[in-house]
Structure 1
Amino acid sequence: MFKSKITFSMFCMFFLVLALLSACSNSSENTSNNNDSKTNDATEQTDSEEPFEISIMTNLHTPETPDKKIQELIEEKTGYKLDIQWVPDDNYDERLNTAFATGSFPDSVRIGFAQMNQFKDAIRNDQFWEIGPYLDQFENLNNLNDEIMANTTIDGKIYGVYQGRPLSRQGIIYRKDWADHLGLEAPTTTDEFMEMVRAFTEDDPNDSGKDDTIGLADRSDLIYGGFKTIASWFGTPHEWGVKDGELLPEFMFDEYMQTLDFYREMHSNRYINQDFPVTSKTDQVAMVANGTAGVYVGSMQDVNTIYNDAVALNPDVEFDVHNHVEGPHGEFGVWAIPGFSEVMMFPKSSVQTEEDLLKILGFYDKLASPDVMNTLYWGIEGEHYEVQDGKAVYIADQAIIDREIRPYLTMEIGEPETTGRYELYTDYEVRQKADELVLENNDYLISDPTVTLDSDTFIQDGDRLKQLIDDATIQYILGQIDKDGFEKAVENWKSQGGNAIIQEFNASYQAQS
């Protein structure tokens, strides 16, 4: 009986142990299964998260907002959602100022060089993110041009990613068939340039037997038209230069006055369109394309447009491009931009955490990759463009390009050298030469030394004061004032705030030296 009870007790204990082991095993298995389930749930949640949304404000250069096809492709390729606020270009500065005044900035805002000067105080007051310390975390953003990035800095700090532009496209486009007919070569000095525009005006270059041509077609823009480039040939500083150890504006240099005399001679001899102060770029291009004028001074890459318009009217037309023109001092120079047009900046009023900033920079890093940048800049291969010899050429109709591609160009960052996007393919040899000369210009640049300097008076009154000098420049060229009249305008500039600008720029210059 006792044995039987012991046996029964041992039997029960055996089954109890088995039950406990089974329970432990099931518990362990359930825990494992639960952990796996949590891991799977976390993965699924990550995969199913909504894309991070970025609001972007940028200029709209076309009459209508673009088709969203390209935006959706960019979103797909980057994994981000974009809220693009398209602002008509004519209203952009006003919208920018309104956003600043009301604190209604988007996450990313496109700010031009002039606006950066206006916002310097806000930048210094920590209203925008300094992004320089984060760039080394992003392979593509870290590959942007260091020299150009330096030109965007405030107090040596980087606050945005730039939209790159060639440092100088400036040079001459001229009618080679006219030059050949008159026995002229590309001008290598300012005297030879004057001779070309004279001959194109007076020596019947088109062999029509009529007085129906002029030498130079120019426009109202004293910067991107011909005036500043020709001033460079004479050795005029770009905006500001150093004389006797002091920074002074370009119009206080003898070389500026030499340029004025040169232009005045062209105008008085009717070598240039007499109404150039009110001529648009469209009309300027038309004069060269339709055979009225033989020389265009500006972006050499405009030869593509001019040739396409001209050959439709005259299949035998020939153009050439040239850049190296020496002034009386025997040297060649050409004015240069800082290497960017705008920068994308990130206001702290909308981007409130470092985590969000890093996500936004992650978008721009992906945007700066060759695949995404080609989508933004060129569109869809096989539909909008095709690749020839490692370059892109549009194959879609211009209306489609204008509607679906062109508006997005304002969102480009970097340049082909840093992002790897395709450059333009052309079988027009003169355009190919223009591209080569644009690169050659890099060896002869005249830069503005005030790009990173400070002047509160310049920010407040610079545009108004510049208009005084622009008006006097035009009046002198047209013969409406003499040298004394121009110098009087300079004195007005100085007394109305110019002297303060000189003092402030020099103080900033000395502080950085």
Structure 2
Amino acid sequence: MSRKKIANTVLVSLLGTVMVIAGCSKSDPQGEGQPGSGKGSTEINIMTVFFTPEPPGEDDMTKKEIENKTNTKLKISWVSSNNYDDKTNVTLASGDIPELMLILDPYSPQVKTMAAQGAFWDLTPFIKDYKNLSSFPAQSWQNTSINGKSYGIPRVRPLDGSGNFPLVRKDWLDKLGLKTPANMNQMYEVMKAFTEKDPDGNGKNDTIGLTGLVTSDGMGSFVWVENVMNGSNGRWKEKDGKLADTVFDPGTREALVWLNKAYKDGIIAPDFPTLKQSQVREMITTNKAGIFADAIKPSWLLTGQMRKTNPQADMMPLTYLEGPSGKYVPKDSGAYGMYVIPKTVPEAKLRSILQFMDYGATQEGWMLASYGFQGVHYTEKDGVITPTEQAVKDNVGVFVHLFANLDKYERAYQTGIPLDFLNRNKQIIDERAKYSVSSPAVGLNSETYIKVGKDYDKKIQDLKVKIILGREPITAWDDYVGKLKSDAQYQQIITEINNDYKKRNPK
């Protein structure tokens, strides 16, 4: 018997809205992912996070059905996202660790130390026995591994569609007869045209090409300029088997020159150093700016708002931009946290827990955790799923934080998205996968950086902003970089990052 395969993700906020589903798959005739032998249920103590006003209760319908499907009895400690990190630290320090526990930061010093001391099961030799868990992307496992070993089950996320990368007003491109920018020169010309050629057609000189924000210790939504120029996803890039700090890369200098010129030409928001995310998005939705950087998902959120007054509005994510190192777009880490199992759990029960999580990684398990019961919590017609009012009443969707099923198009979706917009987002994600660049430094630690790294970051960022604004010449960057080359403390950070990198990649 076949069933619809919902190529979607869980968004609790989508309850009461329509979401599009595509594709189909065959159910496993042998009961894919079904745990247990039917000889009594397995009790599992779990600690995980919730984001809704209230967590599910003991009589929650979804919980009971998950228990029925997995032959388990779940004792779940739901912890609010507002204080999950604090609760994690206290729980780990106590030594009284639940049998299955979500760790949001696999690379915190506390977690790494405990893993090295044998506090958690090394799942590496077991995962091959679990069809659905072992099908998670290798990168998801790698980017939650510690010293080359998997001490937790990744809470998987799509590899493509996230990160700071430009979204462009396609309707403005069309109106001005411009092509979609494919390199930095074309991007500059589009920004200039958006500023000078009245793309919104109101007869006023009131638009700007590019808007965005920076933080006190980083380039924020302008980081894509450096990344394209460097061909790297973030601060570090692989070079000759080592990690090189892009502070010293010529591309970082070129990015500052590019941004300084754009600022002098008046084609980026003049107040970008003080803008907040809400203000940046408001500049887009009020037709004050035509380009900003974000993940793919907000493309419809913003377009939908604009189409209330302008049916032609269209915020389109770029597929890539070509820089000196070739085509570039960022790739995500493939995971947001992991579930650890303490070594106090016997191996037999470990395998039962892995079987339980393997069921959660099936389409059936994920659909149940995401949407609850068909006919009660949602209806499906012609490939479209519509949550019901009962879904809101029953707080459906919270169990998605326990189960993860990888949908590579997760970030293509948004509330109320039309089919044509959705399909274009999917195509962009498929294209991005051909060029996307991952970060080789996810989770790498440096003791020296922990102590003083942020001070360096703030000094570096402060100088970058001054150069972009023209308050310091580009030679000031050359001078500062020269000093960092002979700064023993800064060089120690680079050494320690590379030492940690070698531990993860012992080849």
How many Å separate the matches in 2 of 1:475 and 1:103?
48
The answer (yes or no) to whether the contact 1:225–1:298 under 8 Å persists in 2 is no
- 1:293 Cα offset (Å): 1.6
Partner of 2:225: 230
The answer (yes or no) to whether the contact 2:141–2:154 under 8 Å persists in 1 is yes
- 1:163 Cα offset (Å): 1.9
Partner of 1:92: 84
- 1:149 Cα offset (Å): 1.7
The reply to whether residue 365 of structure 1 matches residue 358 of structure 2 is yes
Question: Cα 1:137–1:243, aligned 2, differ >3 Å: closer, same or farther?
Answer: closer
Partner of 1:184: 178
Instruction: Give the counterpart of 1:61 among 38, 51, 56.
Output: 51
The 5 Å alignment of 1:101-116 reads 101-113=93-105, 115-116=107-108
How many Å separate the matches in 2 of 1:385 and 1:282?
32
The 5 Å alignment of 1:86-235 reads 86-113=78-105, 115-116=107-108, 118-169=110-161, 170=163, 171-220=165-214, 226-235=221-230
- 1:88 Cα offset (Å): 3.5
TM-score, normalized by length of structure 1? 0.78
How many Å separate the matches in 2 of 1:64 and 1:295?
38
The 5 Å alignment of 1:86-485 reads 86-113=78-105, 115-116=107-108, 118-169=110-161, 170=163, 171-220=165-214, 226-238=221-233, 239-243=235-239, 246-327=242-323, 329=324, 331-348=326-343, 351-387=344-380, 393-396=385-388, 404-405=395-396, 407-416=398-407, 427-451=418-442, 455-458=446-449, 461-463=452-454, 465-485=456-476
How many Å separate the matches in 2 of 1:61 and 1:280?
23
Q: Does the residue aligned with 1:120 lie in a helix, a strand or coil?
A: helix
Q: Does the residue aligned with 2:191 lie in a helix, a strand or coil?
A: helix
Which is worse superposed, 150-159 or 270-279? 270-279
How many Å separate the matches in 1 of 2:461 and 2:469?
12
Question: Cα 1:366–1:326, aligned 2, differ >3 Å: closer, same or farther?
Answer: same
Which is worse superposed, 454-463 or 258-267? 454-463
How many Å separate the matches in 1 of 2:182 and 2:449?
37
Give CA-to-partner distance per residue, 1:235-293, whole Å, 9 cap, x none: 34222124566532122211112122222333344423334344343333332223222
- 1:49 Cα offset (Å): 4.7
Letter in structure 1 aligned against 2:368: T
How many Å separate the matches in 2 of 1:444 and 1:402?
43
Give CA-to-partner distance per residue, 1:31-86, whole Å, 9 cap, x none: xxxxxxxxxxxxxxx9795651322232x334443574433443333232333333
Letter in structure 2 aligned against 1:55: I
Letter in structure 2 aligned against 1:205: P
How many Å separate the matches in 2 of 1:82 and 1:273?
52
The reply to whether residue 77 of structure 1 matches residue 72 of structure 2 is no
How many Å separate the matches in 2 of 1:324 and 1:205?
23
Partner of 1:19: none
How many Å separate the matches in 2 of 1:200 and 1:380?
48
- 1:234 Cα offset (Å): 1.5
Letter in structure 2 aligned against 1:194: Y
Question: Cα 1:368–1:423, aligned 2, differ >3 Å: closer, same or farther?
Answer: farther
Partner of 1:40: none
Which is worse superposed, 226-235 or 471-480? 471-480
Question: Cα 1:118–1:468, aligned 2, differ >3 Å: closer, same or farther?
Answer: farther
Letter in structure 1 aligned against 2:51: H
How many Å separate the matches in 2 of 1:402 and 1:318?
35
Q: Does the residue aligned with 1:315 lie in a helix, a strand or coil?
A: coil
**Which sections of structure 2, spanning at least 5 residues, go unmatched?**
1-36
The answer (yes or no) to whether the contact 1:379–1:385 under 8 Å persists in 2 is yes
How many Å separate the matches in 1 of 2:332 and 2:194?
31
Query: Larger relative CO (CA 8 A, sep 6+): 1 or 2?
Result: 2
How many Å separate the matches in 2 of 1:275 and 1:77?
55
How many Å separate the matches in 2 of 1:96 and 1:494?
39
Letter in structure 1 aligned against 2:187: F
Partner of 1:23: none
- 1:297 Cα offset (Å): 2.0
Structure number with greater Rg is 1
Q: Does the residue aligned with 2:326 lie in a helix, a strand or coil?
A: coil
Which is worse superposed, 402-411 or 302-311? 402-411
Q: Does the residue aligned with 1:336 lie in a helix, a strand or coil?
A: coil
Q: Does the residue aligned with 2:290 lie in a helix, a strand or coil?
A: strand
The answer (yes or no) to whether the contact 1:232–1:446 under 8 Å persists in 2 is no
How many Å separate the matches in 2 of 1:496 and 1:464?
15
Letter in structure 1 aligned against 2:364: D
Give CA-to-partner distance per residue, 1:352-392, whole Å, 9 cap, x none: 322332222122112112111112223333454444665x6
Partner of 1:500: 492
How many Å separate the matches in 2 of 1:372 and 1:162?
16
The answer (yes or no) to whether the contact 1:135–1:142 under 8 Å persists in 2 is yes
Q: Does the residue aligned with 1:212 lie in a helix, a strand or coil?
A: coil
The answer (yes or no) to whether the contact 2:166–2:291 under 8 Å persists in 1 is yes
Q: How many residues of Structure 1 are paired with residues of Structure 2 in the alignment?
A: 460
Partner of 1:42: none
- 1:508 Cα offset (Å): 4.6
The answer (yes or no) to whether the contact 1:333–1:444 under 8 Å persists in 2 is yes
Q: Does the residue aligned with 1:226 lie in a helix, a strand or coil?
A: helix
Letter in structure 2 aligned against 1:379: G
Instruction: Give the counterpart of 1:52 among 35, 43, 49.
Output: 43
Question: Cα 1:236–1:436, aligned 2, differ >3 Å: closer, same or farther?
Answer: same
The answer (yes or no) to whether the contact 1:172–1:300 under 8 Å persists in 2 is no
